[in-house]
Chain A
Amino acid sequence: MERDAPGGVAQRPPPLRPRPRLVLAAALLAGFAILGAGAFVALELHGSPQGAAGTLLGSAIGGPFKLVDQNGNTVANTDLEGKWLLVYFGYTHCPDACPTALNNIALALSDLGAEKKEVRPVFITIDPERDTSKALKDYVSAFDAPILALTGTATAIGQAAKEYRVYYAKHPETGGDYSMDHTSIIYVMDPKGRFTASFTGEDPPEQIAARLKKLLS
């Protein structure tokens, strides 16, 4: 079922414009329950010492992607191996949840001290329509952490979100604006790119730092 979700749509020949949107929305909705359940189980693994790496769940979250960073460089998941990653999906027009999560990440990293150079925060937009490389560069530079910000085509973002079991959907607002509904989870990936642990965007920075210290040791 998940195989038929957004990725399946991406591989179709380019059809009429409005239709794939609907198909994508339907597929996302259909997969949502499973994805949500997966994320929930992921959060349940909070306490385990080595996290989810090596478990079935460890291989269920994360996967190949090819996106563009805030400086316009192409970045593939394999380019990021060798460091621990804190992966968060969000968007720059997000006034509340995303700044909270990114700032918690920044504060957690400063708590880590010297070990923070082993950890790379990664912010992946789920609003590629508005979040260009330039917009992302402006946005993440406001946070006190070396955040790698990634955007890409709608298809590439859809693929990355699918790999990470991230749900997102556009919610129209008055006056042509829109906000994005999105999964708000910080994923911890180990230096081999394996899913290891997760936090909510609202977990206190001290808690995130303490858990990371355990994982890094």
Chain B
Amino acid sequence: MRALGIMLLVIGLALGAGAASAQTGQLTVDNAWARATPGKSQTGAAYVTIRSPSPDRLVAASTPVAEKAELHTISMSGMVMKMRPVAGVDIPAGQPVTLAPGGMHIMLTGLMKPLQAGQSFPLTLTFEKAGARTVDVAVEKVGAAGPAPAAQH
């Protein structure tokens, strides 16, 4: 009986501690980058890595540098590239989700001015549970395959 009591107490403490760490553990957005846009193109794409200690969902994006920021995914079927908007991106607990060329991106349309390598711009991502996160997006070269090493953690 006593043993059971202690066990329940231990479990209770463990659950409490777990809940506490989930509350203090923050959703993070890292490695935010975009490619410089060629010419006067008003279309660009931004990429990020998202980590969350608890399940969440990216549901919206916005930036002052573009009229619209939408979640998009690229798929290839029979060598045909298709780009489609998605309503949201699920962020599983403890598993980083990386938006990258050839997969998901935040599509920027109606850019006020071209994105130039070396510059950066703010991007606000809205999550179902964690709320809004604003990050600074580093603009890399036109055909960069990923964020510059300095931007990686």
Interface centre among A32, A94, A137, A142 (most CB of B within 10 A): A142
In the complex, chain A residues whose CB is within 8 Å of the CB of B84: 171
- Verify A96–B80 contact, CB threshold 8 A: no
- Verify A94–B43 contact, CB threshold 8 A: yes
Bound CA span A49–B78, Å: 25
In this complex, the interface size class of chain A, counting residues with CB under 8 Å from chain B, is 35 or more
A154 within 8 A of B: no
18 contacts between A and B (CB under 8 A): A36-B79, A36-B80, A40-B78, A94-B43, A95-B45, A95-B105, A96-B83, A96-B105, A97-B83, A100-B143, A103-B144, A135-B39, A139-B39, A141-B38, A142-B36, A142-B37, A181-B82, A184-B81
- Verify B107–A184 contact, CB threshold 8 A: no
Given contacts A40-B79, A171-B84, A173-B85, contact A92 B102 (CB under 8 A): no
Given contacts A171-B83, A173-B85, A181-B82, contact A138 B40 (CB under 8 A): yes
Bound CA span A201–B101, Å: 11
**A142: min CB distance to chain B, Å:** 3
B51 within 8 A of A: no
Contact among A43, A102, A182, A200 with B143 in the assembled complex (CB-CB below 8 Å): A102
Q: Which of A166-217 contact B (CB under 8 A)?
A: 167, 171, 173-175, 177, 179, 181-185, 200-202
A140 within 8 A of B: yes
**A149: min CB distance to chain B, Å:** 10
- Verify A96–B39 contact, CB threshold 8 A: no
Please report the total number of B residues contacting A with Cβ < 8 Å. Answer: 33
- Verify A95–B80 contact, CB threshold 8 A: no
Smallest CB gap from A136: residue in B: B39
Bound CA span A179–B68, Å: 14
- Verify A142–B39 contact, CB threshold 8 A: yes
Contact among A173, A177, A183 with B80 in the assembled complex (CB-CB below 8 Å): A183
Bound CA span A124–B56, Å: 41
In the complex, chain B residues whose CB is within 8 Å of the CB of A201: 81
Contact among B39, B81, B83, B143 with A137 in the assembled complex (CB-CB below 8 Å): B39
Bound CA span A183–B78, Å: 8
**Other than the known A95-B83, A139-B41, what 9 A-B pairs have Cβ atoms closer than 8 Å?**
A94-B43, A95-B45, A95-B105, A96-B105, A104-B143, A138-B38, A142-B37, A181-B83, A182-B80
In the complex, chain B residues whose CB is within 8 Å of the CB of A94: 43, 83
In the complex, chain B residues whose CB is within 8 Å of the CB of A36: 78-80
A143 within 8 A of B: yes
A156 within 8 A of B: no
B6 within 8 A of A: no
Bound CA span A138–B38, Å: 7
Smallest CB gap from B82: residue in A: A181
**A187: min CB distance to chain B, Å:** 11
- Verify A97–B102 contact, CB threshold 8 A: yes
**B27: min CB distance to chain A, Å:** 25
